């Protein structure tokens, strides 16, 4: 299901980019263009981004060999907070302003685009849609777990108190109630009672988070990849290589941390990591393919990219604040340790500061 959604998103973005290439009312300037040098830089960008994404996604999985990187350690919490800070700054500082610029461009002479702040509207609706998807997906998978063998015995063993306690502890779990406890269904007896039930519920939650999070990342990654691949200006591409490699590396750490906490089977975890790592390079290759006809100032390109950037910003804001930061800050271990709270807060602010100061030119 999640893979189909990701594949559909990629195909739609590719179709939109080809449609944008055909519409050329606002002609771009050829000043500073160098096709040969740009092509070399794009190849370097594909390699650097692929390596950075893969390395970032792989780091959290090293917890099996290095105990300091396990999900219950202070270093793991700090890395996730830093990655969440990078994602927040990407959404607020880099993506939203670009969307405002595109949907407010002088090239959009017709239609309501310059008369209404569509960027804010689309970002808000995208965040709400992510909330609904998050809630529906969590409920669906929990219901499936409840329907499996042993559900009735597990619910009877745990009773109703564990559910209310769990919801109180993690109030942002979006309406997860007694079905959460029912998700502790295992092929064995109901003798594992409430602790195992809550563990199973958290596992389902982490799996939903990781899949929705990756879906949100894909939208922005494809768009920025197409923009880089379609550019023929070395002065624009060169700083983007460093900025995107940094950005993808820490987004990979955030996603990799979610995958580790979700405890996917090896095949599923590797598939998600590969899909994430290839998203931006594929976007760059699409951009290279359409660069001869692509006009970033055409109305179609401006509208499509502006809307998708705004949607990506809304999704990433929701995921960073609700499913990454709130998830960790509400963790009982973090709440009981002022020192760990300080470490996570500093790590978050450093991630925000570094990504905010990193120049990512249009």
Taking the mean position of all CA atoms in its chain, how far away is CA 36?
33
Read off the pLDDT of residues 8-27 as tens digits, 9 standing for 90 and up: 555 555 544 444 444 444 65
For residue 260, pLDDT over 60 is answered with yes
Read off the pLDDT of residues 91-145 as tens digits, 9 standing for 90 and up: 898 889 988 988 888 888 777 887 888 999 999 999 999 889 888 887 777 777 6
Q: Note the pLDDT of residue 352.
A: 92
pTM given for the model: 0.73
**Rounded to whole angstroms, how far apart are CA atoms 93 and 89?**
5
**Rounded to whole angstroms, how far apart are CA atoms 300 and 290?**
14
**Residues 310-323, mean pLDDT to the nearest whole number:** 88
**Rounded to whole angstroms, how far apart are CA atoms 145 and 228?**
43
For residue 253, pLDDT over 80 is answered with yes
Q: Note the pLDDT of residue 46.
A: 92
Residue 10 near residue 223, CB atoms below 8 Å? no
Read off the pLDDT of residues 331-354 as tens digits, 9 standing for 90 and up: 888 888 889 999 999 999 999 998
The DSSP code for 73 is S
Q: Note the pLDDT of residue 170.
A: 45
**Residues 153-167, mean pLDDT to the nearest whole number:** 49
Q: Measuring CA to CA, which residue among 139, 314, 291 is closest to residue 215?
A: 314
Residue 259 near residue 60, CB atoms below 8 Å? yes
Read off the pLDDT of residues 19-50 as tens digits, 9 standing for 90 and up: 444 444 465 555 557 778 888 888 999 999 99
Residues 6 or more apart whose Cβ sits within 8 Å of residue 126: 310, 311, 312, 313, 314, 315, 318
Q: Measuring CA to CA, which residue among 172, 311, 276, 286 is closest to residue 227?
A: 286
Question: Could you give the dihedral angle defined by the CA atoms of residues 217, 251, 262 and 170, in that order, rounded to the nearest 10 degrees?
Answer: -90
């Amino acid at each position: 299901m999640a893979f189909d959604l990701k594949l559909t998103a990629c195909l739609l973005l590719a179709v939109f980019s080809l449609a944008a290439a055909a519409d050329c009312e606002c002609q771009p300037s050829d000043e500073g263009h160098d096709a040969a040098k740009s092509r070399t830089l794009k190849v370097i960008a594909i390699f650097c981004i692929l390596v950075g994404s893969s390395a970032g996604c792989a780091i959290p999985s090293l917890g099996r060999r290095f105990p300091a990187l396990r999900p219950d350690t202070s270093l793991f919490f700090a890395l996730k907070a830093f990655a969440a800070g990078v994602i927040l700054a990407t959404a607020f500082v880099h993506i939203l302003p670009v969307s405002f610029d595109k949907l407010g461009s002088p090239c959009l002479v017709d239609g309501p685009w310059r008369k209404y702040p569509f960027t804010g509207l689309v970002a808000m609706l995208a965040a709400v849609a992510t909330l609904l998807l998050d809630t529906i997906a969590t409920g669906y998978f929990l219901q499936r777990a409840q329907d499996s063998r042993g559900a009735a015995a597990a619910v009877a063993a745990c009773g109703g108190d564990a559910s209310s306690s769990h919801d109180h502890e993690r109030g942002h779990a979006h309406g997860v109630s007694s079905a959460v406890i029912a998700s502790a269904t295992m092929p064995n007896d109901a003798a594992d009672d409430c602790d195992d039930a809550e563990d199973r519920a958290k596992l389902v939650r982490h799996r939903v988070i990781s899949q929705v999070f990756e879906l949100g990342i894909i939208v922005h990654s494809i768009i920025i990849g197409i923009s880089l691949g379609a550019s023929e200006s070395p002065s624009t591409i060169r700083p983007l290589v460093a900025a995107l490699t940094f950005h993808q590396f820490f987004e990979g750490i955030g996603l990799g941390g979610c995958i580790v906490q979700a405890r996917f089977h090896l095949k599923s975890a590797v598939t998600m990591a590969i899909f994430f790592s290839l998203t931006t390079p594929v976007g760059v290759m699409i951009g290279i393919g359409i660069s001869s006809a692509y006009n970033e100032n055409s109305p179609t390109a401006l509208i499509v990219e502006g809307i998708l950037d705004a949607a990506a910003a809304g999704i990433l804001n929701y995921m960073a604040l609700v499913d990454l930061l709130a998830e960790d800050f509400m963790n009982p271990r973090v709440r009981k340790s002022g020192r760990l709270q300080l470490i996570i807060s500093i790590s978050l602010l450093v991630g925000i500061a570094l990504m905010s100061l990193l120049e990512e030119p249009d």
